[in-house]
Amino acid sequence: MNKALSFWLILALLTQLSLLSACVSTESQAGVENNWQYQKDSFIPGETSQADILALLGPPSQIIALQEREVFYYLKEVAKRKGAVLIVYNKLDEIVRYERAVFFFDENGQLEQFSISENEN
Amino acid sequence: MQSFFSVIVAVLLSTILCSCSQFTTHLDAPPPNTNTGLTTSYGEVLSRYGPPGQIHATPTGFYFLYENVKIKENQVGLSLDFLMPDIFSFVFGKGSAHLQSLLIGFDSRGFQTSLTRSDWEEDLGKGRGLQFIFAPLPLVDDSSLRVTAPQNQWGAELLFQQDDKIRIRLANERLMLLGAPLLPTPAVL
């Protein structure tokens, strides 16, 4: 009797899990398009100007005015979510990755320094 | 007799304890484990560690902020089958966060003047919910850590002409958490 009850209980549980379980995977993006990754060679300190950068990459996400410099900050935000919904146990993970490019210009608008984040794709 | 009690316990547990859930969020990569000393130029910092998460201007120079946040929430769901129809359940959640940051200060010429590293755990508190049917959702309020990147809000802020005082206060709240010098004048965009 007990064994039969356990058997049906486990069978019902497994059936429920197999019917209701699910996997989730979503991705969202924000910010500007990452056009800098493939144009690294076009950025030359001392030669490239603000106008060149704007022509190549478009409007930056942010412009920061420092005392002796001006910074163009380009940012793309990529959020990936993955999860397993097994009813009894559920796990949802979100990883937010940032692709960045910063360009520092001197007082004459010439590129002084730049840095691009490593592309993990 | 023992197996009979085992079955009873299993049935009771399956009736009361209906689920547990785990939510994790990783915002950005961990900050670099830097050994740079004073007089390092900002160009060297950029080439070694890549672009910072944020750049703040100050009256005497500027700051680079590298930051990483890991948010974790664990939940346990309790069924209310014995009180209500089995479409409701109580869910209890508890959250915590691990924050790492590296703040590097530079003078107006671009040479490093300070370096502050922070690494701390934060209790995000608890949350309770009465759940209808089933939907695994976070219950702990972690909105203070899940802010949209300021770079992606900058344009909108300009359009809305946000008051300088508010922006300075927000920047100072952030700097205060990091133990960095506060901004005395409206110098941050």
A110 has pLDDT over 70: yes
Rounded Cα distance between B65 and B174, Å, is 11
Percentage above 90 pLDDT, chain A: 46
Q: Regarding predicted confidence, which is higher, A120 or A13?
A: A13
Residue carrying the six token digits 């079955």: B7
**Residue pairs spanning A and B at CB distance below 8 A:** 129
Q: Is A90 on the interface with B (CB under 8 A)?
A: yes
Instruction: Report helix, strand and coil shares of chain B as percent, to nearest 5.
Output: 25, 40, 35
Collapse the DSSP code of A9 into the 3-class scheme (helix H, G, I; strand E, B; otherwise coil) and give the result. helix
- Please state, in angstroms and as integers, the Cα–Cα distance from residue A22 to each residue in A71, A85, B72, B174, following that order: 45, 5, 21, 39
* Residues A34-91: tens digit of each pLDDT: 989 888 889 999 999 999 999 999 989 999 999 889 999 999 999 999 988 777 788 8
The C-alpha of B107 sits at a distance from chain A's nearest C-alpha, in angstroms, of: 10
B176 has pLDDT over 90: no
Asked if the Cβ–Cβ distance from B18 to A112 is below 8 Å, we say no
Considering only CB atoms, B27 lies closest to which of A5, A69, A96, namely A96
Confidence of residue B184 (pLDDT cuts 50, 70, 90): low
Report the pLDDT averaged over residues B111-125: 89
Specify whether the CB–CB gap between B146 and B79 falls below 8 A: no
The C-alpha of B29 sits at a distance from chain A's nearest C-alpha, in angstroms, of: 7
The C-alpha of B52 sits at a distance from chain A's nearest C-alpha, in angstroms, of: 8
Asked if the Cβ–Cβ distance from B151 to A31 is below 8 Å, we say yes
Q: Is B61 on the interface with A (CB under 8 A)?
A: yes
Asked if the Cβ–Cβ distance from B28 to A97 is below 8 Å, we say yes
The pLDDT value given to residue B188? 43
Torsions phi, psi for B64 (to 5 deg) = -105, 135
The C-alpha of B20 sits at a distance from chain A's nearest C-alpha, in angstroms, of: 5
Rounded Cα distance between B114 and B92, Å, is 43
Provide CB contacts within 8 A for B25, sequence distance 6+: A93, A94, A95, A96, B69, B70, B71, B72, B142, B146
* Residues A8-37: tens digit of each pLDDT: 877 776 766 666 667 888 898 888 889 898
B1 has pLDDT over 60: yes
B187 has pLDDT over 50: no
Predicted-complex ipTM score:
0.79
Chain B residues within 8 A of A96 when measuring between CB atoms: 25-28
Q: Is A96 on the interface with B (CB under 8 A)?
A: yes
Give ∠ CA A108-A114-A116 in degrees, rounded to 5: 155
3-state secondary structure labels for all residues of B99-113: EEEEEEEEECCCEEE
Confidence of residue B189 (pLDDT cuts 50, 70, 90): very low
